[in-house]
Amino acid sequence: MRWLLTLFRLVLMTVTNIPFSIVALISLPFQKNGGIYFWAGSTWSRFVLWISNVKVTTAGLENLDRNGNFIIVSNHASFYDIPTLMTLFPRMRIMFKKELSYIPLWGWALKYGHHILVDRKRGAEAMKSLDRAAAAIREGGQVLLFAEGTRTRDGKLQPFKRGAFALAVKSGVPILPVAINGSYLIMPKGSFDIRPSQITAVFGSLIATAGKSTREDEMKLMNDAYEVISKNFRESTP
């Protein structure tokens, strides 16, 4: 019977995403500060966690100004990583690849809203998109970047990619390293089976990027963030 409950949850999450995406899109011409837009995303995220019976706990969050301007750099193990962080940072923006913008409603809400599109192809347009992303990050608030680039397939922490840290240097905004534990057990990559469990997000201290400019600086930031996240990371096994 678990597969039936999982199907019910997936259908309900998909169906409820439609009105929230419509609300987010309609609000854009009337609210420049994105109040309703971000409310729609964070409310749907809370619903996703609730309907999936996923509990979220944190460590170190009490030491942060959740309204500050920083780049959240995290490991990535599951679909549930984004809803988890969006409930903790209701106005958090997401870096997303261009291909997602073609998805009806939800993708359009990403493209035309306050999140940040990045063209991951090589060339001049890709460089321009990174410049636009850096400028958008400097505007304020929190922006999420997954250091591994994609979700882990085995529950282990993967090597970090330099791109997130190159963007951090370009923007000059501090990095907040976050280790997300437990999400892999709920829904690993390639699976649609939801197994309710607990997610724990462990927050490190902010890592300054001001005055950094070289490739060596980027590598140092990457290694520093990896050290913090790996220390707080707990490998997940089925």
Domain annotation covers residue 60 = yes
Average pLDDT over residues 208-228: 92
How does DSSP assign 144-167, residue by residue?
EEETTSS--SSSSPPPPPTHHHHH
Domain annotation covers residue 238 = no
pLDDT of residue 124: 61
Domain annotation covers residue 9 = yes
Cα–Cα distance, 52 to 13 (Å, whole number): 9
Provide the 10 A C-beta neighbour count for residue 153. Answer: 12
Q: What are the pLDDT digits (tens) for 31-78?
A: 888 899 999 999 999 999 999 999 999 999 998 988 899 999 999 999
Mean pLDDT of the chain: 89
According to DSSP, residue 1 is labeled: -
Hey, what amino acid is at 117?
L
Domain annotation covers residue 84 = yes
Provide the 10 A C-beta neighbour count for residue 168. Answer: 27
Domain annotation covers residue 24 = yes
Domain annotation covers residue 120 = yes
Find the domain containing 173 and state its range: 2-232
pLDDT band at 122 (very low <50, low <70, confident <90, very high): low
The enclosing domain of 127 has a CATH number of 3.40.1130.10
Domain annotation covers residue 237 = no
pLDDT of residue 102: 86
Half-sphere exposure of 132 (CA within 13 A, CB side): 13
Q: What are the pLDDT digits (tens) for 66-118?
A: 889 999 999 999 999 999 999 999 999 988 877 888 888 888 898 888 888 77
Q: What does the block give as tokens for 211?
A: 């005055």
Q: How many independent structural domains does the chain possess?
A: 1
pLDDT of residue 37: 95
pLDDT band at 166 (very low <50, low <70, confident <90, very high): confident
pLDDT of residue 26: 95
pLDDT of residue 133: 80
Domain annotation covers residue 176 = yes
Per-residue pLDDT at 225 exceeds 90: yes
pLDDT band at 212 (very low <50, low <70, confident <90, very high): confident
Using DSSP, state whether 51 is helix, strand or coil. helix
pLDDT of residue 125: 60
Per-residue pLDDT at 205 exceeds 90: yes
**What are the helix (H) ranges across 96-234?**
106-112, 124-138, 163-171, 183-186, 215-232
